[in-house]
Amino acid sequence: MLRYSTGDPAGALQLVDAAHRQAARTGSPRMAAVLHARASRAHARAGNNLASRRAEQAMFDAYDRAGLPDNEPACVYWINRDELHGWAATNALDLRDPRRALTHHAAVTAAHRTGTHDQSHPRTAALRLTREADAHLALGNLDAAVHTATRAVQALGGVTSARGTSLLTGLRKKLALHPTPLVRDFLEST
């Protein structure tokens, strides 16, 4: 994450390749899914849509082979389909494809409606909602962006998170470029 977040996606991919070789010994589909997810994020950060999408598919395929979290290494207990869709949505945003991002966010929302999801932590939900609001904004849908951003702030509650605060700050700056009454009210209340 550090490598692709600081402008070195090639370095991130080298680390992921090495990790894949080591992780193969665990036989853990969740571990494989995480590593494919990291590769897909690195490719997205590098602007390589095709490689990112291939790694995403490998991520979902690996997860489909996963059993119960108790049968996997403890370090991947938190990996679930919602996380995978969240990463895929972030990739889509990085690759300037907000419609695809919203498709992945809709998959998470559908799982929440049907009760087939793992309960999200407030910080995770807030991060996901902030990115969803960003996708709505990229498509020019201010109402949906503000509504979703409001839900993100509510989900974060009093949780202290540098990443959550950073994402919300970035979204607020983008929203400020659209000085409608709805946006002004949101900015003033947050």
Query: What are the residue boundaries of the structural domains of the chain, listed by start?
Result: 1-100, 120-190
Find out whether 23 and 35 touch, Cβ atoms under 8 Å: yes
What's the average model confidence in pLDDT over 23-49? 94
Q: Tell me the whole-structure pTM to 2 decimals.
A: 0.85
Looking at every residue in the chain, the average pLDDT score rounds to: 89
Concatenated DSSP letters for 130-156? HHHHHHHHHTT-HHHHHHHHHHHHHHH
Owner of token pair 């977040």: 5
Interatomic CA distance for residues 2 and 20, integer angstroms: 17
Interatomic CA distance for residues 144 and 128, integer angstroms: 14
At 26 the pLDDT is: 86
Give the pLDDT confidence of 112-142 residue by residue, as tens digits: 544 444 445 777 888 889 999 999 999 999 9
Least confident of 61-65, 79-83, 146-150: 79-83
